Amino acid sequence: MKYREDIRNVAIIAHVDHGKTTLVDEMLKQSDTLDSHVNLQERAMDSNALEKERGITILAKNTAVNYKDFKINIMDTPGHADFGGEVERIMKMVDGVLLVVDAYEGTMPQTRFVLKKALEQHLTPIVVVNKIDKPSARPEEVVDEVLELFIELGADDEQLDFPVIYASAINGTSSLSDDPADQEATMAPIFDTIVEKIPAPVDNSDEPLQFQVSLLDYNDYVGRIGIGRVFRGKMKVGDQVSVMKLDGSIKNFRVTKIFGFFGLQRLEVQEAQAGDLIAVSGMEDIFVGETVTPIDHQEALPVLHIDEPTLQMTFLVNNSPFAGREGKYVTSRKIEERLMSELHTDVSLRVENTDSPDAWTVSGRGELHLSILIENMRREGYELQVSRPEVIERVIDGVKCEPFERVQIDTPEEYMGSVIEALGQRKAEMQDMIHSGNGQVRLIFLAPARGLIGFTTEFLSMTRGYGIMNHTFDQYLPMIKGGLGGRRNGALVSVDNGKATMYSIMSVEERGTVFVAPTTEIYEGMIVGENSRDNDLGVNITKAKQMTNVRSANKDQTSVIKKPRILTLEESLEFLNDDEYCEVTPESIRLRKQILNKSEREKASKKRK
């Protein structure tokens, strides 16, 4: 067999925040790729505004670097389980992975998830222990943890013999020794190991073409762009080819442009061959997993498997009294078009119509996955309402099942009791407890996903912000009876329209936590705070103080109210109950009851009971 010795295709995988994107930056800087005058921004690969703000990778990206006589194609993948659909597709495009692990945190839930996907594809692993410069680094123990994880996930002997490199991506240093003093200001150990250990792609360019699409992009000039790998044969600009669709049909098209990746740019090329990662335009209608072949030799590659969604929400047209004030796109036609266009690039999302023409069921991989979509729509000028997230139940072998998540919590020991108690009430089962010796403890649970909805805020206040929680989908198990978790406190609901006044906020404060500031516009049925008890309470927050012409010397001097608690989009979604909506516009996030009128709401709740 012939191989293309000058190319290596590798993906970088890791738990969120372990330094994948920073490592790619350094590899770009230290290879022979960028001109000396190109000034790289920090985390250059995270190009989207939300990725920059939150410091996380949401979309997988690819780049290529030159090192000595080799071209190394690098895929940067997200770490969050909610974007696992991005990781799964990339495993098909590469021949090996760089598994990045934090020298202090060690293996985490996502490390497990991404490694499992890589081992299933029989990819060659290289382990990079990053952040070796941390004072609390414990590289030897971390390598042992990684080895245990490999064994647990059923790695074969060849995979178990993985090379380890120690690095500090932020300082641009690496070495093969686990002593931080031996770090050198170079990424050469990583590049050399990639060239030596990752297999070169097979060169079967003389056989008929097979190109499979793994990622999609869209561009106003050339339309849809399919990004993927040429598994066999050659592709030239101007070729007439066939797309083998997922539903079994076949469409023909002409290749109008082919782009190769180089550094942070896409450069047009005339021809690509087996082993190349490229972007192709000219196909109006192409989806992830479809195969491009010659017209006279149609042979499809196996379809990519993507994990199913586990969480769903209802998206509705905004029908609150303030509808249409702040958004640019408010009609059902516009919202539906936007949701359908999201399906072009996000394969783990599902959008289904409901009985109402103004509502859609949107399913995704987690709260973060769906809240990023809502945040993007909001920034683009859309106005909509969403319901509380719900888990997707399935019937497996005649038994009703629900998704369970593997939860890993790192917290100071003093908060351990209350965390175990809170998760116990949410029907989580503790599987492991590890004391790390410096007052920290790591707890591992298997918990129903239903019980984790809305738990983050409670968890952070319970551990005073010192706790770290990570969870990832584990499996479907038989459904647990009864209600789980959810909000314990009722809501403070406005009974009036108008503007909130300082005077009335002061009188409402003793009933609970207020979410609105003075002069905020309020409508009847809007949620203005959280009750300190478990029932909903109607409040008048728009009442003004009656003015008399009698003045007292010391009366009106000090009116002080607490700062209102302004909820972010994620906190608002966590706060929701079944009979509430979150109204999202480009300028505001409001919580409201589904039925705005108080007496109608009471009638409806009596009927339900």
Residues contributing to the annotated binding site for GTP: 17-22, 130-133
**CA nearest neighbour of 77 among 28, 15, 142:** 15
409 and 467 in contact (C-beta within 8 Å)? yes
Q: Residue 342: left if φ>0, alpha if ψ -120 to 50, beta else—which one?
A: alpha
Give dist(CA 445, CA 423) in Å, integer.
8
**CA nearest neighbour of 389 among 406, 408, 402, 371:** 371
**CA nearest neighbour of 230 among 288, 280, 289, 274:** 274
97 and 125 in contact (C-beta within 8 Å)? yes
Binding site: what residues are annotated? 17-22, 130-133
Element housing 451 (H / E) = helix 449-452
293 and 230 in contact (C-beta within 8 Å)? no
Phi first, then psi, for residue 346 (nearest 5°) are: -105, 105
- At 294, which amino acid appears? P
Phi first, then psi, for residue 382 (nearest 5°) are: -90, 150
Q: Which residues contact 75 (CB under 8 A, 6 or more apart)?
A: 9, 10, 11, 12, 60, 61, 62, 90, 93, 94, 277
Tell me the pairing of strands 537-539 and 491-494: parallel
Query: Exposure of 42 by Cβ count < 10 A (0-12 exposed, 13-18 middle, 19+ buried)?
Result: exposed
139 and 147 in contact (C-beta within 8 Å)? no
Instruction: Please give the structure tokens belonging to residue 211.
Output: 């190109």
Q: List b or e across 450-480, with b for residues whose CB sees 16 or more CB atoms inside 10 angstroms.
A: bbbbbbeeebeebbeeebbbbbbbbebeebe
Q: List b or e across 277-286, with b for residues whose CB sees 16 or more CB atoms inside 10 angstroms.
A: bbbbbbbeeb
Residue corresponding to tokens 């895929």:
75
CA distances for 222 relative to 47, 279, 516, angstroms: 20, 12, 46
Q: Which residues contact 87 (CB under 8 A, 6 or more apart)?
A: 13, 60, 77, 78, 113, 114, 117
